[in-house]
Chain A
Amino acid sequence: MTAGPHPASSAFVSPSVNAFTAQLLAPAHICIDDGVRQSVRDHLLSAVPSLVDELPAGDQVVITLPVLRQTLLGPDGSLRVDEPFTWKPAFVRRSLGLAAIESCLQHRHGTPAEAVGAVADEAVATWVRTGWRTFHWEPWYGGLSVGARSVVLAEAATWATALWSGVDWNQFASLPTVGGPDDQWICTAARTVRLKGRSELRVGIAAPHCCRTGGHGGGGSEDNGPGPSMALLSVSGGAPSEDWRTELGFLALVASLRSPSRPVPARVAGLWPDTGAQRMIEVDAGILGAAADRVIAAVSELAAARRDSAA
């Protein structure tokens, strides 16, 4: 086992953060067998294709957590026309912030505020030297003036500090997976329907007693750690919506559909640093089913909105 992160003594961690982290890393409570995963997958495959088969050829529907939230607002929300993409500090803060946190966990820097500048400079230098873009924003950031760069760094530092302070890192037995590629699942249909789930942390946890095949501690990386179960942590802005359970369930759904060889996440935690809110769900068949229903409703709404706007 790798040396665990020790960024600050737990004595300096607030009681609520302490309890939240302990709950996140506790052994899973519920066993979810592959039958549940298969059944949810079948449910989606039976409902989704017919919803999108009238869309123009080549069209695709992408369901992310923000899209799921938007469709809750009804036609006005789902019909919002996207502006052409241009880089903004808000689009950089998560990737840069997570890289800064990872750097802190690897003891390269003490705090995210200290790390963001070095991480960004390093990314730009690598891109200049090799042409490789780890984050994609390197050319944009590299072309900014000092004043503009400071906004990008400030946004990332503030975002990352909220996550840094929201978790007791000392409780992790080994490094969690910070960020990483989005979970994705593509529904086989005449028009592509892609589900994308994004979690800020993925961590291995002990499986429930009832389905343990071997003993191990919790709090390891999903890939390197010993835990056959997995917990996810998601960070969102604002306040939790009334539908927060389904939203966290959506992340578990996409992660479980992504690959049959990976464990179905046993737990998903949500942090809303703006309001200081913490929420957690234990994933079960009901949660996954509700998330799948929500996806079906969202695809239906989006497809109807596109058909209406085309008509």
Chain B
Amino acid sequence: MLVTDERIDKDSQMPEEWRPLAGAELLERLRVTGRPRPALDPTMFRRLHDRLNEALESSMPPGLGSTPVVITKDKLTQVLTCEAHHVASQFGERRPSQAMACGALIDSLFRQLVVTGRIEDPMADGLAALTLDDHQRALVEWINQLRAPQRSELAVEVERQAAGLVARWPALSPEWLPRTQEPIKASLAGGRILLSARIDLAVGRPAVDHASVGIVELKSGKRRAEHRADLHFYALIEALRSPAPPFMVATYYSRTGELDVEPVSEDLLVAAARRTVAGAEALLRLATGGEAHRTPNPLCGWCDALPTCGPGQERTGTSIPQDGSRARELSDEVELSGDDGLSGEVELSGEVGLSGADELSGDDGEGQ
């Protein structure tokens, strides 16, 4: 049985006396957002659907193939951050990293905890779960080939986070209909656009009079600004498919035990729809051969396109060889040094090295 480790992560900005929510308190925080749950209003959702459809239809470029353009949270974030970064990210597989491995293992363990109520041997359980997932084959091989010190480092972090989950997450009543890794999709513009996501945990029955579904996303890394936008995207898809919004969306940070809960409102959904349309316009333009705009941003140092990107090199203040090896070196440096070694600029962007963890583990199947 795991021993609870109450240590708050060294990078957390939380005051020392702060303690993460646990048990009934955690459940209560998920259940009660402080705002009334939105009433079911079919006309509002029809309006939202129609406006979104209209905006997407008008953005549809000529020459688009018959295969639907799949829009995931990662694609949205990438393309809205920098189109060139998005294009560069489409080629080649992401290289596994400690953070990615930790994220994938913790996602599996969280699922196990929700379904079975227990975690016995985090590394063994997590690896066994990942082994069944064809999409994680490369990551599992990478973990199995780690040298003892690196594997031990990974195991320590996985066990620490798993212990936190076991200690803080109470059993969810089956009456809440907990669903893990639930695929949700919304087909728009006559089937030519598919909004797609995979939710770590959804609870609640479909709405009758009021919104009654809650969505929880698990993150093994640090807080990043785009996590909220991701959740808003989930809320939008759920609202379109049900058609009723979730009453809340939440991110649970297994590294620290922090829980961000946000009530869902019409304003939130409208803003998410606007962001989705903006991202879709860019993705559609790129899908038909449009030029990718370059937007320098704090992630430039980790972008595969940096060797050929003038604005990115200017932003990072460095000249990078054209073969891209510097980008890979930088990525390794960050991984080895951990978050403590990151500059202030990178801190602003959130931990880049950790971003892959959730991307690979959580959304691998989104577009399928």
Contact = CB atoms under 8 A, between A and B. Distances in A.
B187 A154 contact: no
Given A110-B174, A237-B183, A239-B191, A150 B116 contact: yes
A146 B184 contact: no
Contact of A113 (B174, B183, B185, B207): B174
Q: Size class of B's contact patch?
A: 35 or more
Contact of A275 (B118, B128, B178, B241): B241
Given A110-B175, A239-B187, A146 B112 contact: yes
Per DSSP, chain B at the interface is: mixed
A144 B127 CA distance: 12
Interface in B166-199: 174-175, 177-187, 191, 194
Interface string A120-148: 00000000000000000000000011111
B241 A150 contact: no
Interface centre among B127, B206, B244 (most CB of A within 10 A): B206
Interface in A1-45: 8, 11-17
A20 B109 CA distance: 36
Contacts of A263: none
Contacts of B318: none
Contacts of A148: 128-129, 131-132
B258 to A, nearest CB: 24
B243 interface: yes
Contacts, number: 118
A14 B208 CA distance: 4
Interface stretch (A157-165, A245-253, A297-305): A157-165
B133 A151 contact: yes
Interface centre among A16, A147, A165 (most CB of B within 10 A): A147
B206 A274 contact: no
A184 interface: no
Contact of A15 (B175, B184, B208): B208
B126 interface: yes
B206 A157 contact: no
B191 A238 contact: no
Contact of B175 (A111, A162, A277): A111
Interface string A91-113: 00000000000000000011101
Per DSSP, chain A at the interface is: helix
Contacts of B32: none
B241 A151 contact: no
Given A153-B116, A158-B179, A147 B125 contact: yes
Nearest to B111: A154
A212 interface: no
A239 B194 contact: yes
Contacts of A147: 108-109, 112, 121, 124-129
Contacts of B35: none
Contacts of B179: 113, 157-158, 161-162
Given A274-B185, A275-B185, A17 B174 contact: no
Contact of B177 (A109, A111, A146): A111
Nearest to B213: A165
A14 B177 CA distance: 15
B274 interface: no
A93 B243 CA distance: 25
Contacts of B208: 11-15
Interface in A158-198: 158, 161-162, 164-165
A145 B133 CA distance: 14
Contacts of B109: 147
A238 B180 CA distance: 17
A180 B342 CA distance: 58
Nearest to B123: A147
Interface centre among B108, B181, B183, B191 (most CB of A within 10 A): B183
10 contacts: A88-B132, A110-B174, A113-B178, A146-B112, A147-B112, A147-B129, A148-B132, A157-B115, A158-B179, A276-B240
Interface of B: 108-109, 111-112, 114-116, 118, 120-121, 124-129, 131-134, 174-175, 177-187, 191, 194, 205-208, 240-244
Given A150-B116, A274-B241, A275-B185, 18 more contacts: A14-B207, A89-B132, A111-B175, A113-B177, A145-B125, A147-B121, A147-B128, A150-B111, A150-B125, A151-B133, A154-B115, A155-B181, A157-B180, A158-B180, A239-B185, A274-B184, A276-B241, A276-B243
